[in-house]
């Protein structure tokens, strides 16, 4: 399965919300003023914090692809809805924020499921450039949903 980074028309409204600053109060904003979090060395998994809700999706804090030529994908695993632990599937996508100031670019949404602790990670993006700032977003099933997951980049 090869999911390349490409523009996605479906996130245009979300991008407009981000640019207009219409996100949850007190949260970080994406765009030219956003500062990506430090890049982890290696392709280690991490559990990112949620940053804001917009357009029916919850976004993580701004992350950065590590400077490591072996870390070429972004994937998710260990997915669980905190309020309904039997629910281990969610729709995810990745939005990249080009450092040259051009428009954000999103991947196609991917339904990812975890079937226990030994489930394989589900790839959301391939051929990701070193140092690229990005957020992982998931589509909510109901208001107030809290999905925990691990990101590997």
Segment 93-148, tens digit of pLDDT: 999 998 888 899 999 999 999 987 788 999 999 999 888 999 999 999 999 899 99
Q: Does residue 30 belong to any structural domain of this protein? A: no
Q: For residue 37, how many other CB atoms are within 10 A of its CB?
A: 16
Residue 92 CA from chain centroid, whole number: 7
Tell me the sheet residues that pair with 68: none
- How high is the pLDDT of residue 15? 42
Segment 25-58, tens digit of pLDDT: 333 333 333 444 444 445 789 999 999 999 999 9
Q: Does residue 40 belong to any structural domain of this protein? A: no
CATH number at residue 71: 2.60.120
Q: For residue 98, how many other CB atoms are within 10 A of its CB?
A: 12
How many domains does the chain contain in total?
1
pTM of the model: 0.74
Residue 56 CA from chain centroid, whole number: 14
């Amino acid at each position: 399965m090869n999911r390349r980074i490409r523009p996605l028309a479906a996130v245009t409204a979300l991008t407009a919300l981000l640019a207009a600053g219409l996100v949850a109060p007190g949260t970080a904003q994406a765009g030219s003023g956003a500062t990506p979090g430090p890049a982890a060395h290696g392709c280690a998994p991490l559990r990112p914090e949620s940053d804001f809700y917009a357009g029916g999706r919850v976004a993580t804090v701004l992350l950065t692809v590590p400077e490591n030529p072996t870390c070429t994908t972004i994937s998710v695993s260990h997915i669980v809805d905190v309020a309904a632990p039997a629910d281990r599937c969610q729709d995810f996508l990745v939005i990249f924020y080009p450092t040259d100031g051009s428009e954000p670019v999103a991947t196609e949404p991917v339904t990812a499921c975890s079937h226990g602790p030994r489930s394989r990670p589900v790839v959301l993006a391939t051929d990701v450039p070193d140092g690229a700032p990005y957020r992982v977003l998931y589509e909510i099933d109901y208001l107030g949903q809290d999905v925990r997951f691990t990101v590997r980049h």
